[in-house]
Chain A
Amino acid sequence: MKVILGGLAQPATSLANNTGTWRNFRPVYLQKACIDCKMCTIVCPEGCVYRVSEKKFTFNANYCKGCGMCAEECPVDDIEMIMEEK
């Protein structure tokens, strides 16, 4: 990677950085009580939670740091945090 004009960086390249390795806890999307409110996608500081289909959400394990905000904010307690298996 050549340094261009003092260090220009190409846009949207942070995806190369797998912050998922930081994770100690991982969310489990129970998909039992989901009301499709999308709160989990909105509050994720990584923006790595996404909707798969109706009332079905998941997260991208490459980036999820396991902060637990999605589980905390889920209004129907449909997300659990469990210890990461390493």
Chain B
Amino acid sequence: MEKHLFLAGHTACYGCGEALGARLVVDAAGPNIITTDATGCLEVFSSRWPQSAWAVPFIHSLFENSAAVASGIEVALRAMGRQEEAKVIAQGGDGGTADIGLQCLSGMLERGHDVLYVCYDNEAYMNTGVQRSGLTPYDSDTRTSPFGRASWGNRYRKKDMPAIAAAHGAPYIATASVAYPKDLQAKVKKALNIVGPKYLQVHVPCPLGWKSDPALTIKVAKLAVETGLYPIFEMENGVVTKVRKISSPKPVTEYLKLQGRFAHLFKKSGGEEEIKKIQQIADENIRKYGLLSETAAAKVSAEKE
């Protein structure tokens, strides 16, 4: 087999985007790292005693303290003159990052620890059976934001974590997707060469929670980007320096219809209005981050005229 630093034999579900994301991240980082992880899917499917899928040093403590544990590791290496030994990568899911772990992450970012924080964003609490998190998208059907006669699913829009990280003055912030593995790995390498706190949010489809075909994990992730719903960009010192351009934005329905978590939007009358709202979110992203490629932008303006 190929040599990896996150190994087979882990017990993630079929087509797990997070397992793929984690492997791509640690493979890009190389062996000289120390990793932390929040409680969640990744921790459970990778470190059930007496086995471990990690070929790099790994520590899991609690749900909400991955960033603080990583802060401690970083200062300990410095205090003992071992800072050349390893770079520190903190990991967590979307809930462990944007909700319950936000305070520890804020502290880590604000104090300027030389740590790369990676958020594997599968857009809900998946380990416990799909409950809504702060990064669950609008109208998504979860166990705690269910679709029902009086509900279209999650009432809130995704929390803008990159902006929150940016507000702390972190020198490098990026989003990535398992749909673009080379881009993801390049970002990990780039981040590890920047001193200070880094935040990387990786979109990782969850076939179980998204009710999507495991074989389509990459395809679904790609559509999130191609519709504008998951903008891929880099921010350096507070300024967006690079975005993944979209040559011709796809309608959000192409993304939504592949996932059971949005199926209600296509069944219940009034769903069209909700889909329009989601399309607006994508359009806003496209404008805000300037996602249209030059040719696509020219086409759009020609259509308007």
Contacts and interface: CB of A to CB of B under 8 A. Distances in A.
Q: Do chains A and B touch in the complex (CB under 8 A)?
A: yes
Interface of A: 1, 3, 7, 9-19, 22, 41-51, 60, 62-63, 65-69, 71-73, 81
A1 to B, nearest CB: 5
B133 interface: no
B214 A50 contact: no
B219 A1 contact: no
Contacts of B2: 41, 47, 49-51
Given A14-B46, A67-B15, A69-B15, A19 B9 contact: yes
Given A11-B56, A45-B12, A46-B8, A17 B218 contact: no
Nearest to B6: A47
Nearest to A1: B50
Interface residues of B, number: 39
A9 B50 contact: yes
Of all A-B residue pairs in the complex, the 8 with the closest CB atoms, nearest first, are A68-B215, A14-B9, A63-B8, A17-B9, A14-B53, A67-B15, A9-B52, A67-B14
Nearest to A70: B215
Contacts of A73: 218-219
**Which secondary structure dominates chain B's binding surface?**
loop
A46 B189 CA distance: 22
B181 A43 contact: yes
B1 interface: yes
Contacts of B11: 17, 19
Nearest to A71: B215
A47 B23 contact: yes
Contact of B51 (A14, A69, A71): A14
B215 A7 contact: no
A12 B55 contact: yes
Given A7-B49, A46-B19, A51-B2, 14 more contacts: A10-B52, A11-B52, A12-B54, A13-B52, A15-B9, A16-B51, A19-B8, A41-B2, A42-B181, A45-B20, A47-B2, A67-B15, A72-B215, A73-B218
A71 B20 CA distance: 16
Contacts of A68: 15, 213-215
